[in-house]
């Protein structure tokens, strides 16, 4: 069996299969499998990784422990050198801190951050007597690449929910505000928890292409976060047919009807959930209940209440909100216009030369329709 530095213990055939999957995921197509294989085989020394935990719940680390692609044991024994991870490492206290300092001073490391930075109450987050602010200040400038995993490190997440008692910030925002760096290079692997398999796919992208992948306006890799949950949802056909679950446990749950009326935020949430799924790609939220929009900045303030339908969505047929406009909405302008984008991406294909839309559905009674006439605009900006 040929030795693979990143995937030892798997056959060449399996290895190429993995590479093919990764190549497809990062947008190279199946033809890119050879490039991926070459990039992964070229690494002689396991890359140093340090993983910091700030204001968090450890959910992202727990998700890392659920990774099957690759298996966790393979990852930490054969693929990376995980020099610091508070939940996994053997050492504690001064000896743990020594591992962190030694790696940072060596300068040859990738930095993964889980958790938000406490800025208003700096003492709300300390490790080894240092605040999260101080740790970012000394570590970010030395890292080869920095990945924020999970919505806490990306955008502050739950502890940043209004009124944000501790001044919790995502990494990018903190670096901009505190360190005066206008465009920090931080890759945001959003969602709550952060999906470790997405993070590993992104690392693969960096290794293969030797550059950071194109990011959207809130720092997420476009190859993962370029589409709405709704766009690829396996229940999308039910949405378009107006087949809604009307109450939890009703007879249509068994038919996998659409959760929209139960509050599903999939129509306004950019994330790869339906494609990459979770926990070894086995399942995802929609199988169990409505999406809460956890990949979007400030979702506790913009997406709640979670069990109320997205407002102002009456019927398919209203199009024309662009990606950037949509992002502005999500950072807190108004929920009222969100519906426009939803319908834009939901039915644009059908509107282009398509037949008449269905009449307004049940939600029309609950939320007033937006003003644009059905089918009135011709270009759905979100595609």
Partner 1 sequence: MARTNVVIDPITRIEGHLRVTCVVENGKVTDAWNTCTLFRGFEIFMKDRDPRDVWHYTMRICGVCPTPHGWNGVRASEMAMGVDRMDDNTRLIRNMMEASQIAYDHILWFYVLNAFDYVNVPNALKAKPTTPTLKAVQQQLKTFVDSGQLGFLANMYWDNPGYKLPADLDLELTAHYLQSIEMQQLANDAGGVFLGGKYPMIMNYAPGGCTQLPGLEDIITYKQRMETVQGFVDTVVVPDLLAIAPYYIGLAKVGQGVGNFLSWGVLDEKSQDPYDRLFPRGGIYGGKLAVEKVDPDQTKMYTKHSFYPDTLGSGKHPLDVGQEPQEYVDLAPVDGSKLPNAKYDWTQAVRYGDREAPMEVGPLAQMLMAYLAGRPEAVQLVDSTLAAVGAAGHPEILISALGRIVARVLKLKINMDNAQRWADELLANMATGVTAVNSMPEVPDSGEGKGGWDAPRGALCHYVRIKNKKIDSFAAVPASNWNFSPRDDKGVRGPVEEALVGLPVADAAQPLEILRLVHTFDP
- Chain residues 112-171 in contact with partner 1, contact rule CB under 8 A: 118, 121, 123-129, 157-159, 161-166, 168
Q: Which is nearer to partner 1, 159 or 363 (CB)?
A: 159
Residue 107, Cβ density class (10 Å: 0-12 exposed, 13-18 middle, ≥19 buried): exposed
| Interaction between residue 82 and partner 1 (CB under 8 A) | yes
| Interaction between residue 284 and partner 1 (CB under 8 A) | yes
Structure-token match 């979770």, residue found: 278
The interface region with partner 1, picked from 26-34, 45-53, 220-228, 354-362 by CB under 8 A, is: 45-53
Catalytic option among 19, 154, 258, 294: 294
Q: Vertex 88, ends 209 and 55: CA angle to 5°?
A: 80
- To the query of whether residue 258 is one of the catalytic residues in this protein, the response is no
Shortest spacing between CB 85 and partner 1, in angstroms: 6
CA–CA distance, 362 with 238 (Å, rounded to integer): 14
| Interaction between residue 78 and partner 1 (CB under 8 A) | yes
Shortest spacing between CB 307 and partner 1, in angstroms: 5
Q: Is residue 25 within 8 Å of residue 223, measured between CB atoms?
A: yes
Structure token digits, residue 243: 């087949």
Residue 271's SS3 state is coil
Task: Identify the CA nearest to 165 among candidates 213, 123, 127.
Answer: 123
Q: Is residue 318 within 8 Å of residue 340, measured between CB atoms?
A: yes
Q: Is residue 200 within 8 Å of residue 221, measured between CB atoms?
A: no
| Interaction between residue 90 and partner 1 (CB under 8 A) | yes
Shortest spacing between CB 361 and partner 1, in angstroms: 20
Q: With contacts defined by CB under 8 A, how many residues of the chain interact with partner 1? A: 88
| Interaction between residue 286 and partner 1 (CB under 8 A) | yes
- Chain residues 199-258 in contact with partner 1, contact rule CB under 8 A: 247-249, 253-254
- To the query of whether residue 253 is one of the catalytic residues in this protein, the response is yes
- To the query of whether residue 291 is one of the catalytic residues in this protein, the response is yes
β-bridge pairing 168-169 and 117-118 = antiparallel
| Interaction between residue 80 and partner 1 (CB under 8 A) | yes
Shortest spacing between CB 265 and partner 1, in angstroms: 12
- To the query of whether residue 154 is one of the catalytic residues in this protein, the response is no
Catalytic option among 233, 238, 258, 341: 233
Q: Which is nearer to partner 1, 277 or 350 (CB)?
A: 277
- To the query of whether residue 192 is one of the catalytic residues in this protein, the response is yes
| Interaction between residue 57 and partner 1 (CB under 8 A) | yes
CA–CA distance, 329 with 352 (Å, rounded to integer): 26
| Interaction between residue 105 and partner 1 (CB under 8 A) | no
CA–CA distance, 105 with 266 (Å, rounded to integer): 43
Among 27, 59, 184, 242, binds partner 1 (CB under 8 A): 59
- To the query of whether residue 233 is one of the catalytic residues in this protein, the response is yes
Structure token digits, residue 160: 């940043």
Shortest spacing between CB 314 and partner 1, in angstroms: 23
Shortest spacing between CB 356 and partner 1, in angstroms: 33
The interface region with partner 1, picked from 95-103, 135-143, 180-188, 203-211 by CB under 8 A, is: 95-103
Residue 211, Cβ density class (10 Å: 0-12 exposed, 13-18 middle, ≥19 buried): exposed
Catalytic option among 230, 238, 258, 341: 230
| Interaction between residue 182 and partner 1 (CB under 8 A) | no
- To the query of whether residue 19 is one of the catalytic residues in this protein, the response is no
| Interaction between residue 48 and partner 1 (CB under 8 A) | yes
| Interaction between residue 276 and partner 1 (CB under 8 A) | no
Q: Which is nearer to partner 1, 22 or 160 (CB)?
A: 160
User: φ and ψ at 221, to 5 degrees?
Assistant: -60, 130
| Interaction between residue 322 and partner 1 (CB under 8 A) | no
| 266 Cβ contact partners less than 8 Å away, ≥ 6 residues apart | 228, 229, 230, 233, 259, 286, 290, 291, 293
Bridge partners, 221 (sequence order) = 215
CA–CA distance, 225 with 311 (Å, rounded to integer): 23
CA–CA distance, 377 with 134 (Å, rounded to integer): 51
Please say whether the dihedral angle defined by the alpha carbons of residues 90, 96, 100 and 106, taken in this order, is positive or negative: negative
Give catalytic residues, as residue numbers.
Answer: 57, 60, 152, 192, 230, 233, 253, 264, 273, 285, 291, 294
């Amino acid at each position: 069996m040929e030795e693979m530095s990143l995937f030892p213990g798997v056959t060449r055939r399996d290895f190429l299969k993995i590479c093919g999957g990764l190549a497809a995921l990062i947008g190279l197509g199946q033809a890119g499998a050879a490039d991926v294989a070459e990039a992964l085989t070229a690494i002689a020394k396991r890359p140093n990784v340090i993983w910091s935990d700030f204001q968090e719940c450890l959910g992202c680390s727990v998700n890392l422990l659920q990774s099957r692609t690759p298996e966790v044991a393979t990852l930490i024994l054969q693929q990376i050198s995980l020099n610091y991870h508070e939940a996994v490492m053997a050492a504690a206290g001064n000896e743990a801190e020594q591992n962190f300092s030694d790696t940072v001073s060596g300068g040859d490391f990738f930095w993964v951050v889980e958790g938000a930075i406490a800025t208003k109450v700096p003492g709300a987050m300390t490790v080894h007597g240092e605040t999260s602010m101080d740790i970012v200040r000394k570590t970010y400038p030395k890292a080869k690449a920095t990945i924020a995993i999970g919505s806490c490190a990306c955008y502050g997440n739950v502890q940043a929910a209004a009124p944000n008692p501790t001044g919790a910030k995502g990494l990018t925002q903190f670096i901009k505000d505190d360190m005066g760096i206008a465009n920090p290079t931080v890759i945001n692997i959003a969602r709550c928890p952060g999906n470790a398999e997405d993070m590993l796919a992104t690392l693969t992208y960096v290794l293969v292409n030797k550059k950071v992948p194109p990011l959207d306006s809130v720092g997420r890799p476009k190859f993962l976060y370029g589409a709405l949950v709704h766009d690829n949802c396996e229940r999308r056909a039910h949405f378009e047919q107006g087949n809604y679950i009307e109450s939890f446990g009703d007879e249509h749950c068994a038919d996998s009807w659409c959760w929209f009326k139960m509050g599903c935020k999939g129509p306004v949430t950019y994330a790869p959930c339906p494609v990459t799924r979770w926990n070894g790609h086995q399942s995802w939220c929609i199988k169990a209940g409505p999406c809460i929009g956890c990949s979007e900045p400030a979702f506790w303030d913009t997406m709640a209440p979670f069990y109320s339908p997205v407002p102002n969505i009456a019927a398919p047929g209203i199009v024309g909100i662009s990606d950037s406009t949509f992002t502005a909405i999500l950072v807190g302008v108004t929920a009222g216009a969100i519906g426009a984008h939803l319908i834009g991406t939901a039915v644009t294909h059908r509107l282009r030369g398509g037949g008449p839309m269905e009449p307004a559905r049940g939600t029309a009674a609950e939320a007033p329709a937006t003003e644009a006439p059905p089918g009135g605009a011709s270009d759905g900006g979100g595609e």
